[in-house]
Structures are given as structure tokens and as C-alpha cells.
Amino acid sequence: MADVFRLSGTQYKSAQHRHLSLAQLKVMSAIERCRSAQLGAHHLHCEHCHTDAIAYNSCRNR
């Protein structure tokens, strides 16, 4: 869903601006930012295989 909002959300919001509530716009915005660098990240390191990874934070909005 986040990918759909990121690709087409701006056009959809423009086309439907009179039909979307403030709550709906806030949720769409949170989903667009979810698990992206905009919400920050943390570094993960596996001691077993010595692999490093970056995990982006969730918006915590279901």
C-alpha cells in the first residue's frame, strides 16, 4: 500500500481533495512515510554471520 501511495498518492489527493477527510489524509501521509528514512532507522548487526543491516522505523499506524 505504501508503494501505491508513494507513486500515485499526490495525484489521488489532488483529484479527490474535496472527498477526503483530514483523518484520511493523515493516514495516507503516515503510510507514505512508513518504513522509510523519513522516520529514521536503526543499525542491526548479526554477531553470528557478521552481517550489517539498516531497519527503517515503522509509522505504527495500522
What pLDDT does 62 receive?
Answer: 67
Q: What pLDDT, on the 0 to 100 scale, is given for residue 44?
A: 94
Within-domain flag for 61: no
Q: What is the tens place of the pLDDT at every residue in 6-47?
A: 999 999 999 998 999 999 999 999 989 989 888 899 999 999
| 62 inside domain | no
In a domain, 11, yes or no: yes
The total number of structural domains in the chain stands at 1
Predicted confidence band of residue 2 (pLDDT cuts 50, 70, 90): confident
Type of residue found at 57 = N
**Residue 55: what are its φ and ψ, rounded to 5°?**
-110, 115
In a domain, 17, yes or no: yes
The secondary element (H helix, E strand) that includes residue 33 is helix 22-33
Element holding 17 (H helix, E strand):
none
Q: Taking the CA of residue 43 as centre, how many other CA atoms within 13 Å lie in the half-sphere pointing to its CB?
A: 5
Q: Compute the distance between CA of residue 6 and CA of residue 1 in angstroms, rounded to an integer.
A: 9
Domain that holds residue 15: 1-55
Q: Quick one: pLDDT at residue 55?
A: 93
